[in-house]
Chain A
Amino acid sequence: MNEIKITAKNVNVFYGDKQALKDISIDIPARQVTALIGPSGCGKSTFLRSINRMNDVIDGCRLEGEIKLDSEDIYARGIDVVHLRARIGMVFQKPNPFPKSIYDNIAYGPKIHGLTTSSAEMDDLVMGALEKAGLIDEVRDRLDSPGTGLSGGQQQRLCIARAIAVEPEVILMDEPCSALDPIATARIEELIDELKENYTIVMVTHSMQQAARVSQKTAFFHMGELVEQGATEDIFTRPQDERTQAYITGRIG
């Protein structure tokens, strides 16, 4: 059987009185890509943010239930949230490089977490992250220029490099390609495919084709419920639930 990296059990999430997630239970397999799909507002981003406790900073947001990373309850008392977010990195829909140099964008995280002891070590780490993110050849000569000066696709790969630099175990991606053209998208998808060798990836996408192309497991959310989950191939060829069927064939919005 596949090793399980993250387990969510009976998770309910509320924004004030409004319940955004209802009784979500799912196992996220290690070193695979899990795609979260579903109509707008169904709770995909909410669920993604629960995995690294990004919801903590949202006023009135409350979570019930249990989420475990390697069988450790991430909502347990005494969990260091900063450390948790280093283990579980996140890449957002809109590339959001810091207004700093390309080099500093990547060095920032490792510096905070004290991952290096010398500048030579830091150089290696930065170059390694750029390499893994498939960006190195495009930026080798301009590491000192601002990250915001890169193209959208390059910025997104910079953000992925930044996420990788702190040596996470899990990378969460919320619609990472929605602002990119097909070529930049293909490069990110290729990158995701390579990254899954070493990282567990959970990705929200609105593109059925993208979910089908890059993920091994797919979970379909609908109105705060996790309606169906399974091997990606099964979900896209023979979904069991009518709502999944209707959504992926373009019958409900």
Chain B
Amino acid sequence: MEQSHIVKSFDDELKLINTTLAEMGGMAEAQLTKAVRALVTRDADLAREVVAEDSKIDALETELDRDAIRIIALRQPMATDLRMVITALKTSANLERIGDYAKNVAKRTITLIEMQPVGNTAHTIERMAELAQGLVGSVLDAYVKRDLAAADDVRMRDEEIDQLHTSLFRELLTHMMEDPHSITACTHLLFIAKNIERIGDHATNIAEYVHFMVSGETPDDERPKGDETSQTIITS
């Protein structure tokens, strides 16, 4: 652990930012889990709860922004302190987006429950969501522990979600061709899958900032990408 500052209240202010961030991270993870649980168990009440809870993450982001701006204005942080404050700001923005995606999943779930389920797709989505939640959890852990290797690992693991997304995309297109009645439900599911895939991307964004925070460098290597949906064609 780093030495503490001569001015103790500065340490307290930095700690406060980290506490807010940890709280946001925990909520974002929980929102995603709940939204997908609602989808799998077709539980509209749970989905509505997720929609309602999102504003709490937004409020925390506003709070963190305000605290970070105050630190920059009053403390003029340097070196690791500067990198930490900037990383916290960027991380909170990314967590807020993750919360939004979880909310979108929940909203579409409320609509989907009105329709016939489409094959086993909800479970593939659940698998994607588990991976995404794992990434969010790992990257927040890397942030707290200032663990460069763990942050870089998150950047690499996102590929798996992309690959699942691609295969789900194919599966849904096939369903739609076989049974045009399923198109509405499948379209919602496509968007849900896309939302979860985006959550993985936001986790890797955070991982890049954690890399910067710990090392002072931005990662310059290309990470592997497994999303091939933009080139996917299914012919009957």
Contacts and interface: CB of A to CB of B under 8 A. Distances in A.
B81 to A, nearest CB: 5
A251 interface: yes
A38 to B, nearest CB: 14
B4 A251 contact: yes
Interface of B: 2-7, 10, 76-83, 215-217
A236 B7 contact: no
Interface of A: 208-209, 212, 236-239, 244-246, 248-253
Contacts of A253: 6
Nearest to B75: A250
**Chain B, interface SS category:** loop
B5 A238 contact: no
B6 A248 contact: no
Contacts of A238: 79, 83, 215-217
Contact of B79 (A209, A239, A252): A239
8 contacts: A209-B76, A237-B79, A238-B79, A238-B83, A238-B215, A246-B3, A248-B79, A251-B6
Contacts of B4: 251
A4 to B, nearest CB: 26
Give the most central of B7, B79, B80, B217: most A CB within 10 Å.
B79
A248 B83 CA distance: 13
A251 B83 contact: no
Contact of A237 (B2, B5, B216): B216
Given A209-B76, A238-B216, A251 B5 contact: yes
A236 B79 contact: yes
Give the most central of A245, A246, A249: most B CB within 10 Å.
A249
Contacts of A252: 3, 6
B220 to A, nearest CB: 15
B6 A250 contact: yes
Given A208-B78, A209-B76, A249-B77, A237 B83 contact: yes
A186 B83 CA distance: 26
Given A236-B79, A237-B82, A237-B83, A249 B216 contact: no
B78 A251 contact: no
B83 A249 contact: no
A116 B116 CA distance: 98
Contacts of B217: 238
Given A237-B216, A246-B3, 8 more contacts: A208-B78, A239-B79, A245-B80, A248-B79, A251-B3, A251-B5, A252-B3, A252-B6
A208 B3 CA distance: 19
